[in-house]
Amino acid sequence: MADSSDNKPLHEGIDFYMEGPYMVFTERYLRGRGSCCESGCRHCPWGFDSRKRTDVPARDDDPADDRYED
Protein backbone atom coordinates (compact mmCIF):
# COMPACT_ATOMS: atom_id res chain seq x y z
CA MET A 1 0.00 0.00 0.00
CA ALA A 2 1.33 3.45 -0.85
CA ASP A 3 0.66 6.92 0.51
CA SER A 4 -1.32 8.73 -2.17
CA SER A 5 0.29 12.11 -1.41
CA ASP A 6 3.84 11.15 -2.40
CA ASN A 7 3.65 7.49 -3.47
CA LYS A 8 6.18 6.30 -0.87
CA PRO A 9 5.52 2.81 0.50
CA LEU A 10 4.19 2.55 4.05
CA HIS A 11 6.12 0.47 6.57
CA GLU A 12 4.23 -1.59 9.11
CA GLY A 13 5.39 -0.82 12.64
CA ILE A 14 6.70 2.60 11.61
CA ASP A 15 3.90 4.28 9.64
CA PHE A 16 1.03 2.09 10.82
CA TYR A 17 0.10 -1.04 12.71
CA MET A 18 -2.79 -3.43 12.30
CA GLU A 19 -5.47 -3.75 14.95
CA GLY A 20 -7.71 -6.55 13.79
CA PRO A 21 -8.86 -5.59 10.29
CA TYR A 22 -8.01 -1.90 10.84
CA MET A 23 -4.88 -0.01 9.81
CA VAL A 24 -3.96 2.49 12.52
CA PHE A 25 -1.59 5.27 11.46
CA THR A 26 1.16 6.27 13.88
CA GLU A 27 1.75 9.81 15.10
CA ARG A 28 5.01 9.81 13.13
CA TYR A 29 3.19 9.10 9.87
CA LEU A 30 0.37 11.57 10.57
CA ARG A 31 2.82 14.34 11.49
CA GLY A 32 4.67 13.70 8.23
CA ARG A 33 1.45 14.31 6.28
CA GLY A 34 1.65 17.93 7.42
CA SER A 35 -1.96 18.66 8.34
CA CYS A 36 -4.99 17.22 10.09
CA CYS A 37 -7.52 15.29 8.01
CA GLU A 38 -10.22 15.70 10.73
CA SER A 39 -11.08 12.00 10.63
CA GLY A 40 -10.50 11.46 14.34
CA CYS A 41 -7.29 9.46 13.97
CA ARG A 42 -6.26 7.71 17.20
CA HIS A 43 -2.75 9.19 17.21
CA CYS A 44 -3.57 12.64 15.76
CA PRO A 45 -0.64 14.98 16.51
CA TRP A 46 -2.83 18.00 15.75
CA GLY A 47 -5.16 17.47 18.71
CA PHE A 48 -8.33 16.91 16.69
CA ASP A 49 -11.04 15.04 18.62
CA SER A 50 -14.07 14.05 16.56
CA ARG A 51 -16.11 13.73 19.77
CA LYS A 52 -15.70 17.49 20.32
CA ARG A 53 -16.74 18.65 16.85
CA THR A 54 -18.90 21.75 16.84
CA ASP A 55 -20.35 21.35 13.35
CA VAL A 56 -22.54 18.36 14.34
CA PRO A 57 -24.78 18.08 17.41
CA ALA A 58 -23.65 15.79 20.20
CA ARG A 59 -25.80 12.70 20.77
CA ASP A 60 -26.80 14.06 24.21
CA ASP A 61 -28.29 17.16 22.54
CA ASP A 62 -30.58 15.20 20.22
CA PRO A 63 -34.12 16.61 20.73
CA ALA A 64 -35.59 13.26 19.72
CA ASP A 65 -34.20 11.81 22.95
CA ASP A 66 -36.33 14.21 25.04
CA ARG A 67 -39.39 12.03 24.55
CA TYR A 68 -37.82 9.40 26.81
CA GLU A 69 -37.18 11.67 29.81
CA ASP A 70 -39.44 11.42 32.87
DSSP letter at 30? H
Helix (H) / strand (E) containing 50: none
| Its pTM surpasses 0.85 | no
CB atoms within 10 A of CB 56: 8
Tens of pLDDT, residues 15-64: 999 999 999 999 999 999 999 998 889 999 988 877 776 665 555 555 55
